[in-house]
Amino acid sequence: MNIALLLFVIAFNIFQTSVAKYCWKDLPITVFILNNLPPNSPPLKLRCQSKDDDLGYHTLWPHQDFHWTFCQNIFGKTLFFCHLYWGSKQRACDVFRTKWVNPPRFEFWWSVTSDGIYSNNYNDNRTYYKTYEWN
């Protein structure tokens, strides 16, 4: 019985990874990191990851963005975090937690500025609120 359950979990994870656009529970989720730092400033460098996925290091010049799409894990405990670097400033911050999907929303927008990191309010992508200060 345990072997059958293990094989099911392995097959389900392979299926979920290979068909990331068709999520088992909800629609796919997309996280956007926008570089809204001043023109002619040093680039924003970032590394985003979850427990299972390391999205690597990225360099964004002003007005560029980095985004990715994923499905929540079956246990409802998905967490993505990023470490942001800008000149001598840095900040580690959570950019997605499953508990933030209430009410249902499928896009998470972050704006990185010279005075901090801002997040949008639910699906209103025009209104941002300061969420993190630079360290």
What CATH number should be reported for the domain holding residue 72?
2.60.40
Taking the chain, what is the end-to-end CA distance rounded to the nearest angstrom? 51
**Cβ atoms within 10 Å of 3's Cβ, excluding its own:** 7
Residue 67 pLDDT greater than 90, yes or no: yes
Q: Considering the domain boundaries, does residue 127 fall inside one?
A: yes
Give residue 56's domain range.
21-133
Record the tokens describing residue 134, joined without a space.
Answer: 């630079």
Could you tell me the pTM of the whole model?
Answer: 0.79
CA atoms within 13 A on the CB side of 66: 21
Give Rg (Cα) of the chain: 17
Number of domains in the chain: 1
In a domain, 90, yes or no: yes
> Tokens in use for 6?
């293990």
Peptide linkage before 103 cis (omega within 30 of 0): yes
Share of the chain above pLDDT 90, in %: 56
**Which residues make Cβ contacts (< 8 Å) with residue 9, sequence separation at least 6?**
none
CB atoms within 10 A of CB 33: 23
Which pair of structure tokens corresponds to residue 54? 């390391």
Per the structure block, which two tokens stand in for 93? 């911050």
- Give the 3-state secondary structure of residue 4: helix
pLDDT in tens, 31-55: 999 999 999 999 999 999 999 899 9
Domain-located, residue 6: no
Residue 5 lies in a domain: no
Question: Which has more pLDDT, 91 or 99?
Answer: 91
